[in-house]
Chains A and B, each alone.
Chain A
Amino acid sequence: MILDSKCPSGPLADKWDNHRRDLKLVNPANKRKYTIIVVGTGLAGGSVAATLAELGYNVEAFCYQDSPRRGHSIAAQGGINAAKNYQNDGDSIFRLFHDTIKGGDFRAREANVYRLAQISNNIIDQCVAQGVPFARDYAGYLENRSFGGAQVSRTFFARGQTGQQLLLGAYQAFSRQVQAGKIRVHPRTEMLDLVVVDGEAKGITVRDMVSGEIRCHAADAVVLASGGYVNVYNLSTNAMGSSVTAAWRAHKKGAFFANPCYTQIHPTCIPVSGDHQSKLTLMSESLRNDGRIWVPKNKGDRRPAHQIPEDERDYYLERKYPSFGNLAPRDIASRAAKQACDAGLGVGSGRGVYLDFADAIERLGEDAIRARYGNLFDMYQRITGEDAYRQPMRIYPALHYAMGGLWVDYNLQSNLPGLFVLGEANFSDHGANRLGASALMQGLADGYFIAPYTIADYLARTEPGKISSKGDEFRDSAAQVEGLTNKLLAVNGRKTVNQFHRELGHIMWEDVGMARSEDSLKAAVEKISALREEFWNNVRVPGSGADLNQELEKAGRMADYLEFGELLARDALNRDESCGGHFRVEHQTEDGEAVRDDDSFSYVAAWEYGGDGQTPQLHKEPLTFENIELAVRSYK
């Protein structure tokens, strides 16, 4: 099937305005008759729930944490992009659009990305009005910093806690609507199934994580804003509870999964310290504004950093990419770090490179560096016991972000009518590689400014409150969820969920990681399927389903990773080109740069669930570029 993105026609700059003019509206008096389920209260879910409730709809909001204030958006450090051009350095909506398409290695939809760039400016206005304390200069104006993949300063930030401040802004708007009785919050509640009635998404089945009760909720539309899936790699910068479960269960009910192989590996994370490692910590990309990345020129040089003279250091990003230097995009910086370590030049355990602030401290003084990055330096010290003011940080790439996600059209609606997917959970705007500070922008664009319009258009065509959670589809869904819980508890094998997760993570990192090949991917498909079989025969989940049971929660997510991981590998196998974060060793230039194949792969790969143990079916959405010239991405 060729998928229709429903992108409006007409000139790029007018598409969204024209489209909004054509979208249907719900009459103010009727809005309160509609109920919308929102799964997730991160930036995307929090902002859409608040906005829908302000408009008058009833919202049922779900999150697995104990409070809607804790979605993993809170962990974003560096900042949020907008095309304000406050610095008068040549930025514009077109330039942000251009940078994002190019950064994504020409694998995103032009119309979506242009809309994102347009809306970016409204987001900053909205957040300031809410009281988000962005950094200011002495005259009281907003400050900006630079991020990877851009030559302008367009990133707004609140110290090293931009995600936290934006999320608290959304959470506060959300809380105001809880108080107004328009949002009902369901914390500590995990969505475990999507309920589809006559081909349309009309509800969800959840597990109350305290009592263990399985419940169904019906609504007129369902919004998934459940975040990204890179914990399929076990170690990542995501939260421990971040998972693919909500998206995967929707996929199994018919929603197409797009480009799962587009995963982002972030170049600046604290290296793994041992087998006990449970997650990896990001050191914000903003550090690359002032830190210089290097490795020793000589293999096996074990001298402490300060004893290695300047001419025996290789500042490899500055050398290879003189115009972007340390601010080269993430995929490029990550691959370069891996190459250096593979060549035996790594520092620390051998899986690390230096991020050095000595020059910046000399130029600007320690206080200035402390003011910019103090909290990051403190965090680094707590984790490693090392003082980055005195010696360079050691960093290494780690899994960070999912560009892939559920397929959505221009309206952010999946192929299942009534199912809208927002934020990191959808695949929409970042192509094969996301630029720094663009995820916060996308989550809030989706939630505050896009979905509230497009959901109305869907609702205007449906009769409110038609579906009840007593119907057959709901009963079947609850029975299925209950069945899965019992099945997990019944295995009673010998290995813990964490052991399986580590094993899967190892397969994913080695075979589906930064350097993928036909052989490694074929091997991965085999290994994952074998591990899945072992899981269902040998996992041990103690306790009962009718209680707070964290092992059971993890086991359910693990079961999904073991299915999803295989799809990710299959997608990577299908995409026989290199682009952005997806690097196939078969397709590279002599100096190791990615080589795209636009003739064969300029499409979105959207997978349809094939049924238990069946191969999934591929659908394509062709990508066309009318406003930007397809070019070899160069940051030299």
Chain B
Amino acid sequence: MNLTLHVWRQQGPDDKGRLERYQAKDVSPDMSFLEMLDEVNEELVQEGREPIVFDHDCREGICGTCSQVINGQPHGPQAETTVCQLHMRQFKDGDEIYIEPWRARAFPVIKDLIVDRTAMDRIVEAGGYVSVSTGGVPDANAILIPKADADAAMDAAECIGCGACVAACPNGSAMLFVSAKVGQLAKLPQGRPEAARRVCSMTETMLDEGFGNCSNHYECEAACPKGISVKFIAMLNREYLKAMPKLKGKKEA
């Protein structure tokens, strides 16, 4: 099939950027979306032009590096599928495809389709962990975890940290991402001792980093390639409410 691409090109953070038009010819339905872009880039390089830069690494939907808005949808049209796992059989001959970077206040564009997502790392640094050091821990089976809790924790833990939820949210909120980590650790006994501190510092860091707040649009869940459920946002809110009096008390003391 043959396609017309409109791709966001932006030389750097200070460049205004614009959509440019490219033809993708003889695209096989078995190609992945990124392989289709590889072929376009091959031609650009051969013509001595600068290829389109985009983030990608594992190309199997797990590292969370790839990040493109395709026809207005983060990660494109297929549900629960990252760009790198999107295959061209989802498109048809003659299609026009718009390809843009994640757009959010907290994700400045670096070049073309590449944005800076380090703000998400800083949210995790603020408390997205159990504060245990290497060594001196009990036998793994000494901590019993009901299967339902382990499964729910795993549901949340599947987040790949891609940021599609942020790109999809009208407020540019990272609430789904934050709630996935808060929710995973809140479900596990190992995470309980620090639950209050964690939910507060991660949420506050999120706001400090320029992400918006959540006003229940649920666009995040629709865009999430791992199907992280908004029920974790509800859980985060409960955790937050529970935490408030505790932490207040601590601050005053």
Contacts and interface: CB of A to CB of B under 8 A. Distances in A.
Interface of A: 47, 50-51, 54, 65-70, 72, 74-75, 84, 86, 122, 124-131, 133-142, 158-159, 161, 164-165, 168, 171-173, 175-176, 178-179, 185, 187, 210, 239-241, 273-274, 276-279, 281-282, 378-379, 382-385, 448-449, 452, 494, 496, 498-499, 540, 542-543, 547-548, 550-551
**Interface size class of chain B, counting residues whose CB lies under 8 Å from the partner chain:** 35 or more
Given A67-B117, A128-B140, A278-B38, 20 more contacts: A50-B134, A54-B134, A66-B117, A67-B121, A70-B63, A84-B140, A125-B138, A126-B132, A126-B134, A131-B153, A136-B150, A164-B62, A172-B124, A172-B129, A176-B125, A178-B125, A273-B30, A277-B35, A452-B134, A548-B114
Given A69-B121, A126-B134, A278 B59 contact: yes
B185 interface: yes
Contacts of A164: 62, 157-158, 160
A171 B123 CA distance: 13
B65 interface: yes
Nearest to A498: B42
Contact of A125 (B62, B133, B139, B161): B139
A292 B71 CA distance: 41
Contact of A158 (B31, B87, B111, B157): B157
A210 B138 contact: no
Nearest to B185: A131
B231 interface: no
Counting chain B CB atoms within 10 Å of each CB, the highest count among A50, A136, A159, A494 belongs to A136
Interface stretch (B46-54, B166-174, B212-220, B242-250): B46-54
27 contacts: A51-B133, A65-B63, A66-B116, A69-B64, A125-B139, A125-B140, A126-B135, A127-B140, A128-B143, A131-B185, A136-B147, A161-B62, A165-B154, A165-B157, A172-B129, A175-B121, A175-B125, A178-B121, A274-B28, A276-B36, A281-B59, A383-B85, A384-B30, A385-B30, A449-B135, A540-B45, A543-B50
B20 interface: no
Given A70-B64, A134-B150, A178-B125, A142 B50 contact: no
B188 interface: yes
B133 to A, nearest CB: 4
Given A129-B130, A159-B154, A494 B140 contact: no
Nearest to A164: B62
Contacts of A137: 147
Interface of B: 12, 28-32, 34-36, 38-39, 42, 44-46, 48-51, 53, 55-65, 78, 80-81, 85-87, 89, 110-111, 114, 116-118, 120-121, 124-135, 137-141, 143-147, 150-151, 153-154, 157-158, 160-161, 184-185, 188, 190-191
Contact of B31 (A47, A140, A241, A274): A274
A548 B45 contact: no
Contacts of A239: 57-59, 63
A170 to B, nearest CB: 10
B38 to A, nearest CB: 6
Contacts of A173: 129, 132-134
Contact of A72 (B39, B63, B145): B63
Given A50-B134, A130-B129, A496 B57 contact: no
A389 to B, nearest CB: 17
B190 A130 contact: yes
Nearest to B187: A133
Contacts of B133: 51, 54, 173
B150 A171 contact: no
Given A131-B190, A239-B59, A276 B31 contact: yes
Given A75-B58, A131-B191, A551-B45, A179 B125 contact: yes
Nearest to A541: B45
Nearest to B129: A172
Contacts of B146: 136, 140
A75 B63 contact: yes
A279 B55 contact: no
Counting chain B CB atoms within 10 Å of each CB, the highest count among A129, A210, A494 belongs to A129
B145 A140 contact: yes
Contact of B124 (A124, A126, A175, A281): A175
A128 B128 CA distance: 15
A133 B140 contact: no
Contacts of A135: 150, 154
A452 B190 CA distance: 25
Contacts of A86: 141
Contacts of B30: 273-274, 276, 384-385
The 6 A-B residue pairs whose C-beta atoms are closest, nearest first, are: A172-B129, A140-B144, A129-B137, A273-B30, A136-B150, A128-B140
Contacts of B190: 128-131
A277 B59 CA distance: 11
B55 A66 contact: yes
A496 B42 CA distance: 7
Nearest to B85: A382
A138 B151 CA distance: 11
Contact of B128 (A172, A210, A382): A172
A176 B184 CA distance: 17
A172 B62 contact: no
B118 A129 contact: no
B46 A494 contact: yes
Given A65-B63, A133-B188, A448-B134, A124 B140 contact: yes
Contacts of A136: 145-147, 150-151
Contact of A65 (B28, B39, B57, B120): B57
Nearest to A188: B110
Contact of B158 (A70, A122, A161): A161
A142 B87 contact: no
Nearest to A171: B124
A139 B144 contact: yes
